[in-house]
Chain A
């Protein structure tokens, strides 16, 4: 009786303690996440900084209508989806293939050294890597020098609308493929070695082992990562593009986020910028929830 009562009191004390532990973090989220969400009302106003949110005029959906009348808007959406889409494709294929190849390398010290090197670019910032990439593709840079040995005339890569997207996609894959392969390497070690032994007994070649044992074993992970990556279809990589683009390649390289920064924030069209941001955020959140449901259903894994 006495014991039960102390336990009940303890339980109550714990609840209070738990709430207190949550409090500081929740306050920060309130100020820096939830309050800005309330700022979304600016999307439905003609926001003027001097008047503030309470004093600015309501304009309904005018900002959204205007958004689709801007001549560049379709181009910017297309740039975003094309760059992000190809990044998703190659950021899945390359890490998977790399993990499969690395798994075949049985010399342990070599494997470890290779991993040390390929994980590195992921931890460097795009500010640093932009300099590296711009230097590499410079008019007189290493890539052009190499091409010249085949008689190709130098190309102004960073000022070319033909090359800007491939360079963005390629350099993004280059930065992330090593790190991206970690999760697939983990999936590979999770495959039951007995399956390979059985396949070998049946006389399966290495190729058919790959097709019938390895790939099916990795499939849940590949599917979950693809679902997760697909949520980024409107995130073409602000940090990367912002540090490498220039007005010559706006036509192929200007994406939603760079546009919002340039026109919405620097150009002080706050309401327009917020409206674009809101649409983007809605699409992203919807995709994320669908991805989570899909991976729960098909891969028995949950993202959050």
Chain B
């Protein structure tokens, strides 16, 4: 009898897990199928998981869409520049913070300031006014500088550094190495998993952010890709009655928008295998024991 109940339990375990897994996969497959279908079938909602009247016309239209590639370029530029700035600042801050109070007297003062900045913020409007009065509107700097110090990632990296053996550093200091040399020559080479984790978080964050583009870019030509795509969807957020909503959602260019979404997701899919390898490390060293 016990064996039978186990079999039933096993069956339901697989059933629920597979259903949840399918729920994550199928809507995305549907999006891809729509992007390869002809627009009439897509508008008539005939596309399921396989393209109907397979064709590449949406992708051909994207190739000729100047603004799309402009925005794509801005996003790439932002990811490269933003992630580099993030990494340099994270490493420089995480190292002194990984020391205890005896080694670095001001450590706790800095730590409290950082935690304060993490917990409390001025909010959307004061930040907007600061960016505006610094003259950063419509520049790439408005996209990369406000988030230059990702505090969560600094703490994550700090914990990673704390886990490294102390003996190497002591030996190097005995030989007269400076703290900067220790950081660059000893800590960094040992920290590749930690660096990979914070870089990947930074890359995904920069790539996916649409809101700073919306806030700080007045000209559509300066939009990063996610903001550009967000503007395609925004139509429905302005409607005021149900029939209008219904009409708008049925005339929108489904296949083209689907194709734009697919292309915008490709870079993430390319780094996803690396992401998967490292974010588990990130999650587990992220849960702090001090």
Contact = CB atoms under 8 A, between A and B. Distances in A.
Given A24-B92, A224-B287, A288-B119, A134 B226 contact: no
21 contacts: A13-B179, A21-B179, A25-B149, A26-B113, A33-B122, A36-B122, A38-B126, A119-B276, A120-B25, A128-B261, A130-B233, A134-B249, A140-B44, A159-B242, A186-B280, A239-B210, A265-B215, A273-B123, A277-B126, A301-B287, A304-B118
Interface stretch (A75-83, A84-92, A176-184): A176-184
A123 B124 contact: no
Interface in A185-242: 186, 205-206, 221, 224, 238-239, 242
Interface stretch (B9-17, B54-62, B66-74, B188-196): B9-17
Contacts of B65: none
A31 interface: yes
Contacts of B125: 39, 42, 260, 264-265, 270, 273-274, 277
B61 to A, nearest CB: 17
Interface string A106-140: 00000000111111110111011011111110111
Contacts of A284: 119-120
Interface in B153-172: 154-155
A206 B124 CA distance: 51
A113 B145 CA distance: 38
Interface residues of A, number: 100
Contacts of B21: 114, 117-118
A67 interface: no
Given A158-B245, A186-B283, A265-B124, A205 B2 contact: yes
B251 interface: no
Interface in B236-256: 236-242, 245-246, 249-250, 254
Contacts of A140: 44-45, 250
Nearest to B207: A125
Given A34-B117, A120-B272, A182-B280, A280 B239 contact: no
A38 B122 contact: yes
Contacts of B2: 205
Contacts, number: 289
B287 A183 contact: yes
B40 interface: no
A174 B104 contact: no
B6 interface: yes
B: contact size bracket: 35 or more
A186 to B, nearest CB: 5
B135 interface: no
B250 A25 contact: no
Contacts of A133: 27
A22 B122 contact: no
Interface of A: 10, 13-15, 17-19, 21-22, 24-26, 28-29, 31-40, 42, 49, 98, 101-102, 104-105, 114-121, 123-125, 127-128, 130-136, 138-142, 145, 156, 158-159, 174, 177-179, 182-183, 186, 205-206, 221, 224, 238-239, 242-243, 245-248, 257, 260-261, 264-265, 270, 273-274, 277-278, 280-282, 284-285, 288-289, 301-304
Contact of A127 (B88, B233, B284): B233
Contact of A285 (B119, B127, B183, B215): B119
B118 to A, nearest CB: 7
7 smallest beta-carbon distances between A and B, as pairs: A277-B123, A39-B126, A36-B122, A125-B208, A18-B96, A36-B126, A33-B117
B31 A17 contact: no
A40 B45 contact: no
B63 interface: no
A40 B211 contact: no
Given A25-B93, A141-B45, A243-B230, A32 B146 contact: yes
A136 B27 contact: yes
B12 to A, nearest CB: 9
Given A29-B113, A128-B261, A304-B288, A138 B124 contact: no
Nearest to A273: B125
